[in-house]
Structure 1
Amino acid sequence: MEAVSPMLAQTAQEATDDPARIYDLKYNGMRIVGHVEDGESTLLGRSGIDYTWPFPELHDLAKHVTTKRAVLDGEVVCLGADGLPDFNALQKRYSQRDPLAIQALRERFPARFQVFDVVEVDEFDLTT
């Protein structure tokens, strides 16, 4: 599995109508590159650290990909009791090592993988 660096967001002073610009919501999550290959999923952080283990509900990412292989650039977001992204909950989730604590936090602060870009599909590199 080759490391892929995610495209990082840039701030702008103001929104424009420029068709060359695309704007995304700020989810306040953790940037992740999701790798799917042969039915297995791996979530890698910007520095290449494997963050698959603290997010067991995202292990089935491959189920939602209809190709043999894909690389997805996105953000893992944990939702608080109000259903909104909660960065403090995310920090609790990714720093936990104990399987029982991971399960308890999973129930309290479910994680979602918000995909921004499809980087590769099978043997096709979709970057420009």
Structure 2
Amino acid sequence: MSNMYAWAAGLIDGEGYFRIIKDPCYSARLSVKMCHKPTITRLYEIFGVGNIKRAEVARPGHAQSWIWTCSSRTDVIEVLRLIRPYLFTKADEADIMIEFMDSVVRLNSAIEEKERLRVQLVNLKTRNRVRQDNSTEDNLQ
């Protein structure tokens, strides 16, 4: 089964999205969106959690895509702990998500701590995007 978790981690590293939402309470989501429905279905089969939905077509002429989403606290933490050893690109994001999910469990978890982790995840995504853009420019020179 570890091969399947490694495969899923690679897919999530490339196509996945980690998000901490504040609406009005704090929650976490792990999603993968793709046009290839069998791949999305395979994620669901591997983990046995989450749900699959048809995504809205962004523009006329775009292909239909599908989204596998985990939003239950127990589902998100279970998936993250199974794939964390295999993550590379999103390893830091997964660590923040795990810390966030652990903070949700604590009875006296402060809202400030949840907000700090949400902002840290957003900033990490921005930093990684800038770093990726700069490395692309370096390769072009």
TM-score, length-scaled by structure 2:
0.27
- Name whichever structure is richer in strand by fraction: 1
- Name whichever structure is richer in helix by fraction: 2
